[in-house]
Structure 1
C-alpha cells in the first residue's frame, strides 16, 4: 500500500475529492468542507447527497408528503454487504466499462457501484436520478473505497510476484553456474563451459607479443598459399610425348603388370603373337589402356570407372593422380 501511495500526488487525494490543498509559500493550508470533521482520513466513507432541507409548513401540516428519510449507518452497512456479496467493486463500471482502480466510486442505495464522474454525467444526460442498472429512483449515494483497496492489493501482489520471480531466476542462474548437474549431457556442457572459461582467463593473463603473433600468422598464410599453388600445378598434367609414352610402356613391361586392377582379369599383351591368350583377348575387343602414371587397365573397365565417377577429370584408380591415356 505504501508503494502505490508514493506515486500519488501529495497535494491531491483521489480517494477523497473533497479534500484539497492550497500551497502558499512554504506552508500548506488545508481547506475542508464545513460538514466534514478535521480528523477524518482519506479512506473515510461519507454520504454524497446534500443535507435535506427542513420540512416546509405544508409538509408539517400533512398537506404534502414528506420526503423519504435518509438511510442510517446500519442500513448503509447492509447495502454495502449486499454489494460486496455481489462483487460489485471487483467488476468494471457498468457505464464506462472500465476498472475502478483509484478513481472515486460511489455506492447507490440499491447496492450498485459506479464511478463518481460517470454517475454525475449520467444524471446530467438523463435529467433525473435513476439507477442505470435497476432503474430505481430516487436513490442515495455514498462514496466508498473498496475498489481502491482491491487495486492496491492487486498491485502489491503483482510487485511481490515480479520480485520473487526475479529472485528465483537469479538464484537458479547462480545454481546453474556453480553446481554441476547430474545429467550426462548437461554435465558435459557445464564442464565444457568451465573449461572454456578457464582457457579464456588463462589467455587473458598470458603476456603475448601482438606483433610477433601477427607475423607468425603472415608466415603461415604465405606458406599455405605456396602449397596451394603447388597443388594447382599438379592438377594440370602435361600430355606426354611419344618418347614419354615409350618410356612409360617400358616401365609397365618391366613391372610385369598381368591383370587389370579393376576387373582382376588378364590384360592383353600388345606384343602377343597370333594364337596366344593375349592375342585372343585383343581380338575380342578387351584392349588395354595405358595411363601417363604407368598403370594399365582394360579399356572397358576404365570407361566404366570414368562413367561412375562424377568428376570431369577423374584420378587414377590406383595412385589417385591426374592422367592422360593411350590405347595400346
Structure 2
C-alpha cells in the first residue's frame, strides 16, 4: 500500500521520472524539496507567455498577470487561515521574512532592557537577526532550553518569559530534529505578557495544517522551496494592525504611494513591504504548490506516518543508536 502511495506522488515530480533519477530516494527535503511539474509549468508559462510587470502597466496582459498575482496572495491566505489577503507579504524566503520583522521592530518597538526569547532548536536565520539586533540595541537574548533528548523544556521555557520579554521567536517544527514544538502554549504565555510572537513555519506548512488565526501568533513565516515550490520566494504573515505600525524595510518601486524631493508617502500593507519588482513567477509557483498540498494532504500525511513509524521501529531495534527529538 505504501509503495502505491509513494509511486502515485512521485509522478507529480519530474525529478523522479527522469532516467537519471528514477531510482533515487531523496532524503534532503529539509534543505530543499523537489519541485512539482505544475510549479515548473506555471513559472515557465509566465516567462514564455506572460513576462510583464505587476501593478505598473495599463495594458491588458499586465492587468491579467496582476490579477493572478493578487489571487495567489488570496490562495496563501486560505492556505494558512489568515484573516485577510492584506496580511500576506511576499519576500524572497523565510530568512528575509524574519529579517524584515526584526529590522522593522528594531526601529520602532524594542527599548533598552527588553528581552528576545528564542529556542535552542532554531535555524540560524531565526537566531542571528535577533542576536545582532540585541547586541546593537542593548537587549537581552535568552534561549529556551532543551533536554538530553533534544526536546524543548516547556516549563522552563515558559518561566524564561517575563514582563521584559518583547519578542518570542520559535520554529513550529525543528529544522534539525523535526520536533513539533508546543507553540500554542508559548504563544498564549507571550500574549499574557504583552510580547510579540514570530513562528518559523518553514518545516511545518508542507506537513501540518496551519491556521494562524487559531494559533494567534503575530507573525508566521515560510519559504516556497521547502514546500515543492520555487526558490527565491517566501511569505511573511503578519496581523494587519502590526503591519500597519511597522516602518518599511526597503524603499523604492511598488511600495511608494507618492514621491517628491522633499517628502514621500508609502503604500499600506502588504505593498509597503514589497519594494521593487517582485518574484512574480515565484509567487505564481508557491500558490500552485500550496494548492497541491491542500489537495493531497491526506495522502501526504498517511505516507509520512508510515515512513516515520518504519524508521522509528527500525532504529529503535539498534542498540547503538540514540534517538533525538520528538
Greater C-alpha Rg: 1
Ranked by relative contact order (alpha carbons within 8 Å, sequence separation 6 or more), the top structure is: 2
* TM-score between both structures, scaled by the size of structure 1: 0.16
* TM-score between both structures, scaled by the size of structure 2: 0.17
